[in-house]
Amino acid sequence: MMKAKLILDGNTVATSIKDNLVGRIKRLSEKGIVPCLATILVGDDPSSATYVKMKGNACKRLGIESIRVELPSTTTTDELIDVINKLNNDPKVHGILLQHPVPHQIDERAAFEAIRIEKDVDGVTTLGFAQNAFGFADFPSCTPAAIIAILDYYNIPVEGKHAVVIGRSPILGKPVSAMLLNKNATVTTCHSRTTHLAEIVQLADIVVAAVGKPKFVQGDWIKPGAIVLDAGYNEGNVGDVDYDACMENASAITPVPAGVGPVTIATLLKHTVDAAEKFA
């Protein structure tokens, strides 16, 4: 068995993205504009609170303003949309992030749709999804965009390759499938109803795992020389692929942590700066 030749280090890619933002943020500040991301957290889910704190800290380190809006778990859909509309109408806010999941009584899709497209830096609206599918979204969903950024950074060819995406969520599996298709890959999107999943994955040149199940993708599913991108993060700091086992056949693989995650946050910061520049 050959060992993976390349560890796709997300911290390196994230640092490259953030380094590119420093000068852009400085030029905005000279115009009196500070890029601003508003994050909405509904309820007291500890994992969501941790993610929001990480995003806030990342903003602070770069000089991006971060507004944290915390709402009780009893918040209604209408109350949440009222908060979103206030942020939509605040010229100092350039990006809005609604941390998901939200409590069960909230219509999450209605809340996402309330975010104005020019502030949808997390790529959660249906309009943003459609623009991404057509290949001209300003703000594609951050995790799919991070996966593409990793492929681009390491000069991994996508055109003509067979990519298998495991997962079809509207903010990860579906948009990354569209982005790979737009880069001229042949894409198979698998999901919970897919039969003969292992056999399909064994045909892949590029595997994207986005199922939310720890160590779901097995080592013998990976074709020798395939590229493995693990978009999962589960309890115990493990991803959706069995890292050690998949590493045996893969030619390149993202670790968890320090793989797709840091690049997702860096992409969110980039989108916020992009939005501020468009506003300017």
Cβ-proximal residues to 5 (8 Å cutoff; 6+ apart), any chain: 251, 252
Cβ-proximal residues to 118 (8 Å cutoff; 6+ apart), any chain: 138, 275, 278, 279
31: annotated active-site residue = no
- pTM of the predicted model as reported, rounded to 2 decimal places: 0.96
User: Are 248 and 154 members of one domain?
Assistant: yes
Q: How far apart, in whole angstroms, are the C-alpha atoms of residue 76 and residue 103?
A: 9
* Residue 158 confidence (pLDDT): 98
Q: How far apart, in whole angstroms, are the C-alpha atoms of residue 226 and residue 137?
A: 28
Site of tokens 């995790």: 143
User: Are 100 and 151 members of one domain?
Assistant: no
Q: Is the pLDDT of residue 153 over 50?
A: yes
Residue 239 lies in a domain: yes
Residue 44 lies in a domain: yes
Residue at a domain's end among 102, 117, 132: 117
* Residue 1 confidence (pLDDT): 45
User: Are 113 and 171 members of one domain?
Assistant: no
User: Are 97 and 174 members of one domain?
Assistant: no
Contact 275, 119 (CB under 8 A): yes
**Active-site hit among 9, 18, 99, 174:** 99
Any idea what DSSP says for residue 160? T
Helix axes 46-62, 260-279, angle to 10 degrees: 60
User: Are 110 and 173 members of one domain?
Assistant: no
Helix axes 10-30, 260-279, angle to 10 degrees: 20
pLDDT digits (tens, 9 = 90+) for 5-19: 799 999 999 999 999
Q: Domains in the chain: how many in total?
A: 2
Residue 127 lies in a domain: no
Residue 178 lies in a domain: yes
User: Are 110 and 167 members of one domain?
Assistant: no
Residue 214 lies in a domain: yes
105: annotated active-site residue = no
Cβ count within 10 A of residue 3: 9
Residue 272 lies in a domain: no
CA distances from 154 to 9, 35, 150 (A): 10, 29, 6
99: annotated active-site residue = yes
User: Are 102 and 190 members of one domain?
Assistant: no
Residue 8 lies in a domain: no
User: Are 148 and 250 members of one domain?
Assistant: yes
Sorting pLDDT into bands at 50, 70 and 90, what band is 201? Answer: very high
**Active-site hit among 122, 240, 242, 274:** 122
**Both tokens assigned to 253:** 């693989």
Q: Which domain holds residue 68?
A: 32-117
Residue at a domain's end among 69, 85, 117: 117
Q: In what order do the strands lie in the sheet with 206-209?
A: 6-7, 252-253, 227-230, 206-209, 162-166, 186-190
Residue at a domain's end among 84, 117, 150: 117
Q: What is the CATH number of the domain that holds 150?
A: 3.40.50.720
Q: What is the CATH number of the domain that holds 98?
A: 3.40.50.10860
Contact 60, 35 (CB under 8 A): no
pLDDT digits (tens, 9 = 90+) for 162-192: 999 999 999 999 999 999 999 999 999 999 9
**Active-site hit among 55, 161, 183, 270:** 55
Of 149, 163, 248, 152, nearest in space to 207 by CA = 163
User: Are 214 and 182 members of one domain?
Assistant: yes
